[in-house]
Amino acid sequence: MKRGQARRILLCGAAAACLLAGHAAARSDLVNIPAGSLKAALDAFIRQTGAQLIYNVDDVAELATPGLRGVPADRALSQLLAGTGMSASRDRSGAVIISRATGAAAAGEILPPETVVVTGSRILGAQERSTPVTSLPTEQLLATTPGGIPEALDKMPIFMGGSTPNNATTGANGRGNNAPGYFLNLRDLGAIRTLILEDGHRVPGTFYDTTVDIDMLPQMLVSRVEVVAGGASAVYGSDAVAGVVNFVLDRAFTGFKAVASGGISGQADARALRLGVAGGEDILPGGHLIWSVEYHNRAALPDAAARPLGNLGTSIVGSGTAANPYTLVRGIRQSNTAPGGLVVSGPGKGLQFLSDGSLAPFDQGMPTATANFAIGGDGGIEHNEYLLPAFSTGQVFAHYNQVVTPSITAYVQARYSLARSYEAGQIFTNVNGSGISTNGASAQYPITIYSGNAFLTPAAQAFLFPAGGPTSFQMNRMDNDLMSRLALDQHTGALAVSAGLQGQGPASLNWDVNFTHGETRTQLITRNNVDTARFYAALDAVRDPATSKIVCNVDLTAPGAFPGCVPLNLFGQSAAVVNGSNASQAALDYVGVTTSWTAHNDMDDFSANLTGDVLDLPAGPVKFAAGSEYRFARLQVDTSTPGNTFNPQYLRLAPPGTFAPTAASPDGSFPPADLAHFKEVLSGAAGSETVAEANLELDVPLVKDLPLARLISADGAMRYTDYHVGGMDPAGSGFVKTGFASSTWKLGLAWQVTDDLSLRATRSRDIRAPTLWDLFQGPNTTTSGVSDALTGVSGSANTQAIGNPNLSPEVAHNTTAGLIYEPGWLAGARVKLDYFHIDIIDEIAGVSGASNIVQSLCLASPGGSSPYCALIQRPVSYNDTSALNFPTLYYSQPQNFQHQWTEGYDFEASYQADVSDWAGQGAMLGLRLLWTHTSFLKTRGLPGWVVTNVAGSANAPGDALPADKVALIASFVRGSLSVDLLERYYGPLHPSPNSNLIFARSVANLPEWFQTDINIAVALGGSQSSGSIFLNVSNLLDAQPGVFQVPSYTGSPGMNYPVVPYEDIIGRYFTLGVRYRM
The answer as to CATH 2.40.170 being correct for domain 607-1077 is yes
Contacts 24+ apart (CB under 8 A), 781-787: 781/644, 781/675, 781/680, 781/683, 782/173, 782/680, 783/173, 783/444, 783/673, 783/674, 783/675, 783/680, 784/172, 784/173, 784/850, 784/1050, 785/444, 785/1050, 786/850, 786/887, 786/890
For the chain, how far is it from start to end, CA to CA, in angstroms? 40
Report d(CA 665, CA 705) in Å as an integer: 88
Residues 6+ apart with CB under 8 A from 861: 868, 869
Cα angle 1046, 425, 582; round to 5: 125
- Name which CATH class applies to 3-100: alpha beta
- Count of positions (residues) in the chain: 1078
Instruction: Give which of 600, 627, 599, 598 is closest to 612, Cα–Cα.
Output: 627
- Render pLDDT for 629-653 as a digit per residue (tens, 0 to 9): 999 999 999 999 887 777 777 888 7
> Is the predicted pLDDT of residue 809 greater than 90, yes or no?
yes
Query: Residue 475 in contact with residue 337, Cβ under 8 Å?
Result: no
Instruction: Give the alpha-carbon dihedral of 364, 370, 376, 382, to 10 degrees.
Output: 100
Query: Residue 342 in contact with residue 477, Cβ under 8 Å?
Result: yes
Q: Beta-carbon neighbour count of residue 714 at 10 Å?
A: 16
The domain segmentation of the chain, as residue ranges, is 3-100, 607-1077
Greatest mean pLDDT among 50-54, 444-448, 504-508, 1009-1013 lies in: 1009-1013
**In this structure, are strands 429-430 and 472-478 parallel, antiparallel, or unpaired?**
antiparallel
- Render pLDDT for 355-403 as a digit per residue (tens, 0 to 9): 999 999 999 999 988 878 899 999 988 777 788 889 999 999 999 999 9
Task: Assign 354 a pLDDT band (cuts: 50, 70, 90).
Answer: very high
Task: Assign 1058 a pLDDT band (cuts: 50, 70, 90).
Answer: confident
Stated as kind and residue range, the H or E segment containing 948 is strand 948-949
Q: What is the pLDDT of residue 681?
A: 84
* 543 vs 865 pLDDT, higher one: 543
Query: Residue 680 in contact with residue 781, Cβ under 8 Å?
Result: yes
Residues 6+ apart with CB under 8 A from 536: 648, 651, 653
Sign of CA pseudo-dihedral 99, 105, 107, 112:
positive
Instruction: Classify residue 424 as left (phi > 0), alpha (psi -120 to 50) or beta.
Output: beta
* DSSP secondary structure string for all residues of 116-153: ---TT--STT--S-SS-EEEEEHHHHHHH-TT-HHHHH
Q: What is the pLDDT of residue 104?
A: 33
Instruction: Give the alpha-carbon dihedral of 145, 151, 156, 161, to 10 degrees.
Output: -150
Task: Assign 90 a pLDDT band (cuts: 50, 70, 90).
Answer: low
Residues 6+ apart with CB under 8 A from 169: 178, 957, 958, 1056, 1061
Least confident segment among 204-208, 481-485, 1028-1032, 1066-1070: 481-485
Query: Residue 227 in contact with residue 834, Cβ under 8 Å?
Result: no
Stated as kind and residue range, the H or E segment containing 97 is strand 96-100
Cα angle 486, 489, 494; round to 5: 165
* DSSP secondary structure string for all residues of 375-414: ESSS-B---S--SB-EEEEEEEEEEEEEEEETTEEEEEEE
- Render pLDDT for 941-962 as a digit per residue (tens, 0 to 9): 988 888 999 999 987 666 789 9
The rounded percent of the chain whose pLDDT value lies above 70 is: 87
Query: Residue 101 in contact with residue 83, Cβ under 8 Å?
Result: no
Report d(CA 66, CA 224) in Å as an integer: 7
- Render pLDDT for 831-845 as a digit per residue (tens, 0 to 9): 999 999 999 999 999
> Is the predicted pLDDT of residue 819 greater than 60, yes or no?
yes
> Is the predicted pLDDT of residue 231 greater than 80, yes or no?
yes
Stated as kind and residue range, the H or E segment containing 532 is helix 532-539
> Is the predicted pLDDT of residue 654 greater than 70, yes or no?
no
Instruction: Give which of 718, 770, 713 is closest to 739, Cα–Cα.
Output: 770
At residue 463, the 3 state secondary structure works out as: helix
- Render pLDDT for 138-163 as a digit per residue (tens, 0 to 9): 989 999 999 999 999 999 999 998 88
Q: What is the pLDDT of residue 168?
A: 66
Quote the mean pLDDT of the chain: 85
Instruction: Give the pLDDT mean for 722-738.
Output: 92
- Render pLDDT for 288-335 as a digit per residue (tens, 0 to 9): 999 999 999 999 998 888 888 887 788 888 888 888 888 888 888 988
Q: Beta-carbon neighbour count of residue 273 at 10 Å?
A: 15
Identify residue 169 by its one-letter amino acid code: T
Q: What is the pLDDT of residue 440?
A: 45
* DSSP secondary structure string for all residues of 628-675: EEEEEEEEEEEES-S--B---TT---S-TTSS---SS-TT----TT-B
- Render pLDDT for 37-46 as a digit per residue (tens, 0 to 9): 787 788 777 7
> Is the predicted pLDDT of residue 1049 greater than 70, yes or no?
no
> Is the predicted pLDDT of residue 562 greater than 80, yes or no?
yes
What pTM did the predictor assign? 0.86
At residue 235, the 3 state secondary structure works out as: helix
> Is the predicted pLDDT of residue 792 greater than 90, yes or no?
no
The rounded percent of the chain whose pLDDT value lies above 90 is: 55
| Residue 858 phi, psi (nearest 5) | -65, -50
> Is the predicted pLDDT of residue 255 greater than 80, yes or no?
yes
Query: Residue 418 in contact with residue 395, Cβ under 8 Å?
Result: yes
In DSSP terms, 525 is beta-bridged to 489, 596
At residue 571, the 3 state secondary structure works out as: coil
Report d(CA 377, CA 742) in Å as an integer: 59
Residues 6+ apart with CB under 8 A from 1001: none
* DSSP secondary structure string for all residues of 255-287: EEEEEEEEEEETTS-S-EEEEEEEEEEEEETTE
Report d(CA 738, CA 725) in Å as an integer: 5
- Render pLDDT for 13-26 as a digit per residue (tens, 0 to 9): 333 333 333 333 33
> In CATH terms, are 3-100 and 607-1077 the same topology?
no
> Is the predicted pLDDT of residue 552 greater than 70, yes or no?
yes
* 943 vs 980 pLDDT, higher one: 980
| Residue 589 phi, psi (nearest 5) | -65, -30
Instruction: Give which of 876, 814, 885, 812 is closest to 844, Cα–Cα.
Output: 812
SS3 content of the chain, % helix, strand, coil (to 5): 15, 45, 40
At residue 455, the 3 state secondary structure works out as: coil
Instruction: Give which of 277, 226, 216 is closest to 248, Cα–Cα.
Output: 226
Query: Residue 969 in contact with residue 991, Cβ under 8 Å?
Result: no
> Is the predicted pLDDT of residue 4 greater than 60, yes or no?
no
Least confident segment among 99-108, 398-407, 656-665, 801-810: 99-108
Going from the C-alpha of 397 to that of each of 160, 293, 294, 297, 513, the distances in angstroms are: 29, 6, 9, 18, 21
Report d(CA 235, CA 125) in Å as an integer: 15
Instruction: Give the pLDDT mean for 25-50.
Output: 67
Least confident segment among 134-138, 149-153, 1051-1055: 1051-1055
Task: Assign 776 a pLDDT band (cuts: 50, 70, 90).
Answer: very high
Instruction: Give which of 162, 208, 152 is closest to 183, Cα–Cα.
Output: 162
Q: What is the pLDDT of residue 780?
A: 82
